[in-house]
Amino acid sequence: MRLLEGRLINVSNRLPVEIKFRAGHPRLNPSAGGLASALDSIWRHHHGLWIGWAGAVDSETAATLLQKAARGRSYGLKAVPLTQQEVSKFYSGFANEIIWPLFHDMPSRCDFDPEYWEFYQRVNRKFAQAAMETTTSKDLIWAHDYHLMLMGRYLREAGCTARVGFFLHIPFPAPDIFEKLPWRKTILRSLLQYHLLGFQTERDRYNFLTCLERIVPEASWAREDSHNIVVLDGRRTRVATFPISISFEEFSSHAASRDVDAAASQLRRELTNNFIVLGVDRMDYTKGIPERLKAFRILLRRFPELRHKVTLLQVVVPSREEIPNYKELRREVELLVSQINGEFTEAGWVPIHYMHRNLTRKQLLAYYRSADIALITSLKDGMNLVAKEFCAAQVDEHGVVIISEFAGAASELQHGAIVVNPNDLAGIAEAIHRACVMPVEEKRSRMKLLRDIVRTYNVQGWAESFLSAAVISDPRSEREAASSSSGEEPDIPLIASAATPDQRIA
């Protein structure tokens, strides 16, 4: 990667730490979820600044606690204060009741409240202002995820001269879904104010380009190696695919440590060496948790010989509990767990062990290491880091990955994993059975392959490829692009030049 002259300014809705009140006192906690866990591991090695919301506290308390949190890090932390109303209408409302369900192909779960849109614009402007306060033209601003799709536009309007890149951690929907969004054109045109746009998979990039073709026909484009260059109003945006990953070495070496080894052995003993099927998710309707439980019930009904021999460990981390859909999901999941346990439990065997809490890294690794199957049944998922973490932690190479074809990770892991359709409950049950009876040698060779894939393209590689692309998306080259593109036909038609959804960039 060409060296950055300035600093890296990372902007995401949440900081990697969150301030929560415990016993009336503000306390620092690590933020939950894939974005924070992936980014924190690479940012530890970069100097710069991370800008985001720190939780519901006043600015002074946030600044003091963030200063403390930054002591163990190579980067600074800067809070964007949000009012309660902004959190409710921007974060819970626009981001999580419109964009999240829509981009995961679930439009019937959307609440297209026009007030949410007002707040989305207002808060994006706030984030842009916070970035402008500290950025110089030598810096690189890296904005993350669906909360900040308008920030590029506000940065430009405020006269920002730094390079600005954006990475979407969730899927980008096909045009028939995206078109339902009343503010579709403004959002697409605003995204084109970034110099670089990164997507998780080729399918997401293809969907984005297809949406542009339909909704912003005034944009033109060309192909440059594996990237697309889109030109709108004389400005260039580079569009590319960067599948996110994890820190393989960190997960693998910690999983091999003596304390994780001891914890994993104890877990296996406590479960009387049963075959362990593991589910680890944020409590989210996109993760297909009820589908997984129903598939497990089918397994126990169709293959009674597996009763007493197989145990499902389902760990969920609480998430977005203030949103009604999420509360209902929790009730549905807990009802299913108790129904299935009620139907099958016998002396000495409980089929499902259910945990609704955050695990420490050591506990999580002990589960990954001891499990025989990682069961990922997302109805739709940007990537799914759990799949990759499981592979890295499988130092004994005995585990099997069963993964939904609709998780971004499936395209990278398809050759070593068993790929399922999460709506095909009988198919998932068959896949679990297949993994249970799979010869040891086959399991080992599949897991070796999966570990090689995750080791080769890790989170450092992901960040470097994004940053390298951002560095070559130099705003100073825009004038050149503007003069060569104004009024001209596109070099190559968009759709003809876009890779097919399932092709991946090597």
Q: What is the spatial distance between Cα 208 and Cα 485, in angstroms, rounded to a whole number?
A: 21
User: Which residues, numbered 51-110, are part of the site for ligand ADQ (CB under 6 A)?
Assistant: none
Q: Are 57 and 19 in contact (CB under 8 A)?
A: yes
Query: Which of these, 166, 164, 159, 168, lies nearest to 139 by C-alpha position?
Result: 164
Q: For tokens 């536009």, name the residue.
A: 153
Of the two residues 160 and 315, which places its CB atom closer to ligand ADQ in the complex? 315
User: Of the candidates 10, 245, 314, 384, which one interacts with ligand ADQ according to CB under 6 A?
Assistant: 384
Q: What is the spatial distance between Cα 255 and Cα 392, in angstroms, rounded to a whole number?
A: 8
Hey, which bits of 242-349 come out as E strands?
Answer: 275-282, 310-317
Question: Does 279 contact ligand ADQ by CB under 6 A?
Answer: no
Q: CB 281 → ligand ADQ: shortest distance, Å?
A: 6
Q: Are 163 and 141 in contact (CB under 8 A)?
A: yes
Give the DSSP letter of residue 423. Answer: T
Question: Does 381 contact ligand ADQ by CB under 6 A?
Answer: yes
Of the two residues 13 and 37, which places its CB atom closer to ligand ADQ in the complex? 37
Q: CB 31 → ligand ADQ: shortest distance, Å?
A: 10
What's at 398, amino acid-wise? Answer: H
Q: In the bound complex, which residue of the shown chain has the CB atom lying closest to ligand ADQ?
A: 34
C-alpha to C-alpha distances, 396 to 161, 255, 315, nearest whole angstrom: 50, 10, 22
Of the candidate spans 123-131, 214-222, 327-335, 357-365, the one that interacts with ligand ADQ by CB under 6 A turns out to be: 357-365
- In sequence order, what are the beta bridge partners of 198? 167, 240
Percentage helix, strand, coil, to 5, in the chain? 50, 20, 30
Question: Does 169 contact ligand ADQ by CB under 6 A?
Answer: yes
Q: CB 389 → ligand ADQ: shortest distance, Å?
A: 5
Q: CB 363 → ligand ADQ: shortest distance, Å?
A: 8
Binding mask 19-58 for ligand ADQ (x = CB under 6 A): --------------xxx-xx--------------------
Of the candidates 169, 195, 227, 254, the residue annotated as catalytic is: 169
Give the DSSP letter of residue 243. Answer: -
Q: CB 378 → ligand ADQ: shortest distance, Å?
A: 8
Binding mask 239-258 for ligand ADQ (x = CB under 6 A): -----x--------------
Q: CB 317 → ligand ADQ: shortest distance, Å?
A: 4
Of the candidate spans 84-92, 219-227, 249-257, 275-283, the one that interacts with ligand ADQ by CB under 6 A turns out to be: 275-283
Cβ atoms within 10 A of the Cβ of 251, count?
Answer: 26
Residue 234 dihedral angles phi and psi, to the nearest 5°: 80, 5
Of the candidate spans 148-156, 250-258, 297-305, 380-388, the one that interacts with ligand ADQ by CB under 6 A turns out to be: 380-388
Of the two residues 10 and 485, which places its CB atom closer to ligand ADQ in the complex? 10
Q: CB 441 → ligand ADQ: shortest distance, Å?
A: 29
Question: Does 170 contact ligand ADQ by CB under 6 A?
Answer: yes
Q: What is the spatial distance between Cα 89 and Cα 119, in angstroms, rounded to a whole number?
A: 6
Cβ within 8 Å of residue 72, ≥6 positions away: none
Question: Does 315 contact ligand ADQ by CB under 6 A?
Answer: yes
Of the candidate spans 44-52, 175-183, 381-389, 393-401, the one that interacts with ligand ADQ by CB under 6 A turns out to be: 381-389
Q: Are 292 and 351 in contact (CB under 8 A)?
A: no
Q: Are 401 and 377 in contact (CB under 8 A)?
A: no
User: Of the candidates 164, 280, 395, 435, which one interacts with ligand ADQ according to CB under 6 A?
Assistant: 280
**169 labelled catalytic:** yes
Q: Are 92 and 165 in contact (CB under 8 A)?
A: no
Q: CB 361 → ligand ADQ: shortest distance, Å?
A: 8
Pairing of strands 275-282, 220-224: unpaired
Q: What is the spatial distance between Cα 450 and Cα 405, in angstroms, rounded to a whole number?
A: 16
User: Which residues make up the interface to ligand ADQ (CB under 6 A)?
Assistant: 33-35, 37-38, 169-170, 244, 280-282, 315, 317, 358-359, 364, 381-386, 389
Active site residues: 169, 381
